[in-house]
Homo-oligomer: A and B are copies of this chain.
Amino acid sequence: MMKSTAIAHPNIALIKYWGNLNDEINLPANNSISMVMSGVSTKTTVEFGSKLNNEIIINDKKATGEKARRVDDHIQRILKLDNRKTNYKIVSKNDFPTGAGLASSASGFAALTVAACDALAMKFDTRRLSIIARHGSGSACRSIHSGFVEWISSQNSEDSYAEQIAPEDHIDLADLVAIVETHEKKVSSKEGHRSAINNPYFKARLSELTKIIPLMRNAIKNKDFQTIGELAEHDCLSMHSVMMTSNPMLLYWQPETIKVINKVVDVRALGLECYFTIDAGPNVHVLCRQENADEIKEKLKSVKGVKDIIVNNAGNGTEVISDHLF
C-alpha cells in the first residue's frame, strides 16, 4: 500500500533566514542555524492511488486556494522525481493551535516530504530529503534533522540543504515560546523575503553574518550558552531591523512583544540567564538553560498579554511513524 505517515517539528532559528538568492526554489541569501522545537509537531499521512481524488485536509479542514496549490505543487514535484503520475490523499494535523502564530510551514513541508517519499518507497538520504523539503518551504529543510541544524546557502539547488551541527542532547537548552495576543494582520513572509533584496540594511546584515555564523556554529559545538544567546538576540534584532526598514515597512512586533523583551532583560539583570529571539511574528522565544526553565516560565506567565507558554528542548528530526491519520 502506498501510504505513509511522518511526524515533524517546527524549528526556531538562532541565526535567521531572511531574503533569497532565488525566490522560486528558496535558495537563501545566507546560512541559517536553528534548533528543532520538541514541544510542538505536525503529523501528516500521505496516500497515493488512482482511485483517490487529490483531497488535502489540514487541521480537519479541506485545504483550498493558495494553501492547497502549494501542497499540490510539492506532491507533483516528488512524483516527478519518480516519473509517476497518480492521485493522492493527504491529511495533516498540528498539535498546536493555528492562531498561535507559530509557523507551521517548516514542520508541515518536512512531514509531507518524508511521508510522500516513504509512501512511494523512494529511499533518500537526509540531504536529499532536506533539498526536496526546501522547495516546499525554505525553513522546512532544517526540520528534517534533529537537534541543532545549519542550512547552507548556495546559488546551486543541489548544494543548498541543511545538516546537523549537534544532536538533540548536546546542550541543555530550552526554548520557551511566549504566545502573545495577536491583533495584527499578518504580512506574508514570501513578500517580505522579496522586499529585503533592495534594502541597504540587508546588505549590511549579510556582511555581518559572514562573521557571526561561524561564531554561532562554534558556540553550539562548544556548548557556550551565553554566546549562543547573545548572538541569537542580536541576530533577531538584525532581521527585524531589515524588516522595519523595508518598503513597505514590516513591523511584526506587538505591544506584548516589547513587554516580553523587557521581562527577559529584567530577569537576566536579576542573574537568571535568558535571551530572546523573535521570528516573523509577535511571539517571543526565550532561550534558557533547562534547569531554569520552570522558574523563567513562571516569570513569563506573569506578563499581561501572554496567553500561553510552550516549552521546547532540542527535538527530533522528521520520522516515519506507524499510526496513520486515516
Contact = CB atoms under 8 A, between A and B. Distances in A.
A97 to B, nearest CB: 23
Interface stretch (A47-55, A121-129, A142-150, A199-207): A199-207
Interface stretch (A20-28, A71-79, A256-264, A291-299): A256-264
A255 interface: yes
Interface in A96-125: none
A67 interface: no
Interface residues of A, number: 30
Is the contact region of chain A dominated by helix, strand, or loop, or is it mixed? helix
Q: Give me the 3 closest cross-chain CB pairs, A-B, nearest first.
A: A241-B241, A255-B255, A204-B204
A237 interface: yes
B247 A255 contact: no
B245 A234 contact: yes
Contacts of A251: 237, 258, 261
Given A201-B204, A201-B241, A258 B257 contact: yes
A192 to B, nearest CB: 15
Nearest to A238: B245
Given A241-B242, A255-B255, A255-B259, 19 more contacts: A183-B262, A184-B262, A200-B205, A200-B207, A200-B208, A201-B201, A201-B238, A201-B241, A203-B204, A204-B204, A237-B244, A237-B249, A240-B244, A241-B244, A241-B245, A253-B258, A255-B256, A255-B258, A258-B258
